[in-house]
Chains A and B, each alone.
Chain A
Amino acid sequence: MTGQDAPGGSGPAIDIRSVCKSYTRGQQTVPVLQNVSFHIAKGEFVALMGPSGSGKSTLLNLIAGIDRVDSGSIFVSGADITTLSESELARWRSRSVGFIFQFYNLIPVLTALENVELPLLLTPLSARERRKHAEAALALVGLADRMDHKPSELSGGQQQRTAIARAIVTDPDILVADEPTGDLDRVSAGEILDLMAGLSESLNKTIVMVTHDPRAAQRAHLVRSLEKGLLIDAGNGAEGGNGNADAPLHS
């Protein structure tokens, strides 16, 4: 598994090898991902597309370390996260992964600033340093003037920007986003995509984004498609379980 082919990358940030994942529903086992392999270079901004139920979220969850593979391995920044214990995985997530959700998933009783500060509670930073970092992250997403607002006092776009600030405040290696614009109007969605593209370019963040919005996919450097648990080469739609051929689309 090689291939140092992504723009701006220096090696695979994420390397997925022969991952299988199925869910059991009652008596029957439903295969979701079948022998999926591919890699994402550092600094890459990848869009994962595919029909609903094709396993996009499942794959993203495995990459982000909040779900377990049945077989296969996932290397992130050189380390196999599938071998980590539950608590090691939690610690790894807190340091290495930034989450962006479709419904923002902010804590309603906390202010924007406190929401952004939340992941820093798991670091050894002092209260003052935490606050400084959180303020900086909020300023970066353009919400310096909304720090003390509760999520319910923010628009959808502002909430998602707060969530992005929360995702980057620990300076993680990778950002995962599951339909980050799925619940937003066209203008807000555009702003969020601008922000994410900016993070990838200026901060060299590796971003994996699940979306079924073609406009969102357009902003990514690379598009990968899943269909019935198999990775499809996005360029020509050919089935490619090994996923070695990275085909940039809409560059």
Chain B
Amino acid sequence: MALLVSYSLRNLLARRMTTVLTAGGMALVVFVFAAALMLAEGLRSTLVQTGTPGNALVLRKGSKSEIESVVERGVASLVETRSEIARDADGSALAASEVVVLINLAKRGTGEASNVMLRGIGQKSLALRPQVRLVSGRMPRFGSSEIVAGEGVARRFKGAGLGEKLRFGMREWTVVGIFDAGATGFNSEIWGDVDQFMNAFRRNAYTLLLVRLVSEDSLGAFRNGVEADPRLKLDVKAEAVFYAEQSEMMAKFLKILGVSLTAIFSIGAMIGAMITMHAAVAGRVGEIGTLRALGFPRRSILTAFVLEALFLGLLGGAVGLLAASGLQLFTISTMNFQTFSELAFGFSLTPGIVILSLAFGTGMGLLGGLIPALRAARIKIVDALRAV
């Protein structure tokens, strides 16, 4: 068996150029395959992390996204009195009324304009979002034209860096801090005092109310209470669920795109593998005849060629995966067409994706090699020997 394995391996080495080209083709497919999965995974984890368990969002009835929502000041204070909301030491509700506004900013480098989400935050907003962490500068003083930018925004947009100034809402704003919100959607936002933003954009209603519930189990009671009140006309959603829903379409789109790309590529690679294996068989018909004459059963010949194809697929899979793992260094930013704002997220490699990609590579090699291997094992010995 060891000799058979090394026979297969050495045949691949002997045809180094063909091996490299074929494995390269397969590597490309596995790369696309893994990249698509990593992207979908990256998006998924970003949006799942954007919500905090135990938090609930209160929005206008029927709002599919934050920007559609409007919550009147009076309505917000009314909701804040509900008993399902957790309280601070001083007895005040752990709740923040926020306003969300889309603005247009120019990107660094190209100067191309893109939508960025502004979030006017309240005193409690930061406490309600533990995943948001200041990395440089300080938080804005309430009552001033100071803002903080998410890392993703600071990096990609003109004037959004620490100490720089931005113009919007007919005022000039100073970036006094940069925050890191991990792999969440907040990383692509700019935050400032909710009252200042409402003034600047002449809004007199909030967009949403964010609350921390006494416990995760209180969500049902809180929702029933709020949604049952006909004066309020509000929806209650778990924060995590809401953000996941925000990008459902996007994730679906990415997955479909990735899968169809992979399908097209892998057909090509499979044909390539088959041509290579066919050539490998054609070039070694005499060898096959010799081995069979020596008494090796058809099964052994089949095994040797299938092994060869498997090695080829595994090699391609490993190389493709290695290249794809390098993608983790990159961040993708794209327009989330459900929220019309930029969303930055990374490629995320999980053990499941590693296994899936390697299996995909070997499966491709196996499929490509099986038909030629079957053919190799079927040749009549005397016919095969004539090919020496």
Binding site for B on A (CB under 8 A): 61, 64, 66-67, 87, 90-95, 97, 99, 101, 103, 105, 107-110, 114, 117-119, 121-122, 127, 166
Contact = CB atoms under 8 A, between A and B. Distances in A.
B169 interface: no
Contacts of A107: 7, 287, 290-291
A93 B293 contact: yes
B382 A109 contact: no
Given A99-B294, A119-B294, A67 B11 contact: no
B388 A101 contact: yes
A105 B290 contact: yes
B322 interface: no
B388 A90 contact: no
Nearest to B286: A105
Contacts of B10: 109-110
Contacts of A97: 295
A114 B3 contact: yes
Given A90-B296, A99-B293, A119-B294, A66 B381 contact: yes
Which A-B residue pairs are the 8 nearest by beta carbons?
A: A94-B295, A109-B10, A105-B290, A66-B381, A93-B295, A67-B382, A103-B388, A90-B295
> Among A61, A64, A66, A91, which residue has the most Cβ atoms of chain B within 10 A?
A66
Interface in B281-333: 286-287, 289-297
A94 B14 contact: no
B292 A90 contact: yes
B89 to A, nearest CB: 76
B381 A122 contact: no
Contacts of B3: 110, 114, 117-118, 121
Contacts of A127: 2
Contacts of B292: 66, 90
A94 B289 CA distance: 14
Nearest to A61: B382
A25 B10 CA distance: 38
B232 interface: no
B195 to A, nearest CB: 78
A109 B295 contact: no
Given A66-B381, A66-B382, A117-B3, A109 B294 contact: no
A221 B3 CA distance: 38
Contacts of B286: 105
Interface residues of B, number: 23
Contacts of B290: 99, 101, 105, 107
A63 to B, nearest CB: 12
B353 interface: no
A161 to B, nearest CB: 17
Nearest to B297: A90
25 contacts: A66-B292, A66-B381, A67-B381, A67-B382, A87-B297, A90-B297, A92-B295, A93-B293, A93-B295, A94-B295, A94-B296, A95-B295, A99-B293, A103-B388, A105-B287, A105-B289, A107-B7, A107-B287, A107-B291, A109-B11, A109-B14, A110-B7, A118-B294, A119-B295, A127-B2
Contacts of A99: 290, 293-294
B132 to A, nearest CB: 61
Nearest to B2: A127
A99 B291 CA distance: 11
Contacts of A64: 293
Nearest to B384: A66
A99 to B, nearest CB: 5
A171 to B, nearest CB: 14
Contacts of B106: none
B284 to A, nearest CB: 9
A167 to B, nearest CB: 9
B14 A66 contact: no
> Among A64, A92, A95, A118, which residue has the most Cβ atoms of chain B within 10 A?
A118
A87 B295 CA distance: 9
Interface in B1-59: 2-4, 7, 10-11, 13-14
Contacts of A101: 290, 385, 388
A108 B381 contact: no
B11 to A, nearest CB: 6
Contacts of A118: 3, 291, 294
A186 to B, nearest CB: 23
A122 B14 contact: no
A224 to B, nearest CB: 21
Given A64-B293, A118-B291, A121-B296, 10 more contacts: A61-B382, A67-B382, A93-B293, A95-B295, A99-B294, A103-B388, A105-B289, A109-B10, A114-B3, A119-B295
B382 A94 contact: no
A242 to B, nearest CB: 26
Nearest to B290: A105
A101 B382 CA distance: 12
A114 to B, nearest CB: 6
Nearest to A94: B295
Contacts of B385: 66, 101, 105
A91 B295 CA distance: 6
Contacts of A109: 7, 10-11, 13-14
> Among B4, B14, B291, B382, which residue has the most Cβ atoms of chain A within 10 A?
B382
A30 to B, nearest CB: 14
